[in-house]
Amino acid sequence: MKQFNMFIDGQSINMSSKLDIINPATGQAFAQCPNGTPANVDNAVSSARRAFKLWGQTSSEERKQKIHQLADTIEANMPELMTLITQETGKPINGLSGVGSGMEVGGAIAWTRSTAELDIPIDVIQDNEDARIEVHRKPLGVVASITPWNWPLMIAIWHVIPALKAGNTVVIKPSELTPLATIRFVELANEILPHGVLNIVTGGSAVGTALCAHSGVDKIVFTGSTATGKKVMQMASATLKRLTLELGGNDAGIVLADVDIRSTAKKLFDACFHNNGQTCAALKRLYVHESIFDDVCDEMARLAREVNVGNGEQEDTELGPIQNAQQLNIVMDLAADAKLNGGHFLTGGRKIIGAGYFFEPTIVTGLTDGSRLVDEEPFGPILPIIKYTDIEEVIARANRNQSGLGGSVWSKDIAKATHIASRLECGSVWVNTHGALQPNAPFGGIKQSGFGIEFGLQGLAEFTSIQTIKINK
């Protein structure tokens, strides 16, 4: 069984206590990594604080060059990283419409290069005979990154690279379910960065708690569930740490009556089911106008029946397994509740018999708001399609949910769709697509989906503090 180690102050750290890493396609362990402790967190934070004294003083141009080197090494090791992601997440190599581990590593490279080029200029707000006033952005210090299991390398890059570009040092704790690609990235990065600039501690909740509560941490970036995000916020309050929280989403899509059904259904299916629905900004509630409801449902069901589900290491696989047994049970519980409450299953609804955590791609009608499958984020390959009549009513229904990460509107009438989109209560909204993230477009949630911004200059600014300098003349 392959062994992976933590990295603290540029050194490989082994432990006698191990975590087994499960391949969700088989349900069997295939690798191990250390089960870290709060003492490891102390060492990692101390290392990061020492490294910050020099790294925080480097120029933006120096950091830019180092970050481009990180992109180069990700690219040079792309096949290995793709394999690790597929083995630990179940995500196919290619995936539904190209959304697989290849896209994850490719996206990590693109985000790294784009972020390397960002700079926040000095803002001169006054310069006259009396005084010059400059607003500077300064690095915060040590950033703690806590990442989830669904896009382990991509989200690590989203956290780490802007933190480094702004001049901070980092301690990252990946999900204990999917730490391997992140460990390998940190190992490669430590061949480029000064020791202590990027550290990784693997382990369970004890490591996460120690990191969130540590007095030497200046900011926490967390991506994960709303419930855990609230606990992170509580722990951060003791030392007034800065926070970026990207939490759960239950994104609504509204389909107007004028769409081309066949082409739109394919885009909707991809937006709902890529990565098996295990994406925060996937489309999870689909509202369809009554005049085209049956036709859209029929087409979505056809796509669900025809999609290729299997082991992600096979190149023609489009959907892999659910990543872990606990999440599989959540999806099965929501499906059972939907059946009890009048849901009509056009496809799926059952675990696929055999090894691994596979669940049939599932389309459910006959439900409405107030049903668990509509109100709660399933984070799996199951979609409720809900009929609506009045546009004002459906906007209100879409906004009634406590989540506010993303949403979308689908129509041939771009102006009308854009107006409706602007009324949706969510941090990002798309017209005729869904979940189309890019490194220069700010992304973040509202309501119970968290706060803080990622990507672009707005995201980079989250890793800095403002210092105003007034020079009297």
Of 61, 165, 69, 153, which is closest to residue 457 (Cα–Cα)? 165
**Which residues are marked as active site?**
246, 280
